[in-house]
């Protein structure tokens, strides 16, 4: 297991541990952190956040809610993103 830290800017909101195959959105909600969401399948982009550090796996092909340009800016979709080791997530999206 690895540590996941959730921030809003520089403010640390909470810390949890990775859980294999559990999306970041579910891990955040389990510790009381609300991330806006709608479809929970990667189609709408509502749960988009910024990856500050670490690696988050996204499915291939990418769903309509995100594209390579957004990923290059640090965007992830927490409803379908799976942490690959320790990660820091900023709830403020990159757009």
Ordered structural domains, the chain, with CATH: 3-90 (3.10.20.30)
Q: Which residues contact 95 (CB under 8 A, 6 or more apart)?
A: 48, 70, 73, 75
Torsions phi, psi of 12, nearest 5? -75, 120
User: What pTM, to 2 d.p., does this model score?
Assistant: 0.94
Does the pLDDT of residue 95 top 90, yes or no?
no
| pLDDT (tens digit per residue) in 41-86 | 999 999 999 999 999 999 999 999 999 999 999 999 999 999 999 9
């Amino acid at each position: 297991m690895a540590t996941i830290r959730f921030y809003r800017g520089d403010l640390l909101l909470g810390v949890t541990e990775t859980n294999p195959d559990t999306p970041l959105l579910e891990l955040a909600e389990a510790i009381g952190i609300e991330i806006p969401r709608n479809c929970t399948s990667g189609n709408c982009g509502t749960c988009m956040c910024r990856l500050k550090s670490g690696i988050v796996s996204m499915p291939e092909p990418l769903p309509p809610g995100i594209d390579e340009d957004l990923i290059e800016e640090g965007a992830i979709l927490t409803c379908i993103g799976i942490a690959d080791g320790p990660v820091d997530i900023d709830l403020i999206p990159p757009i």
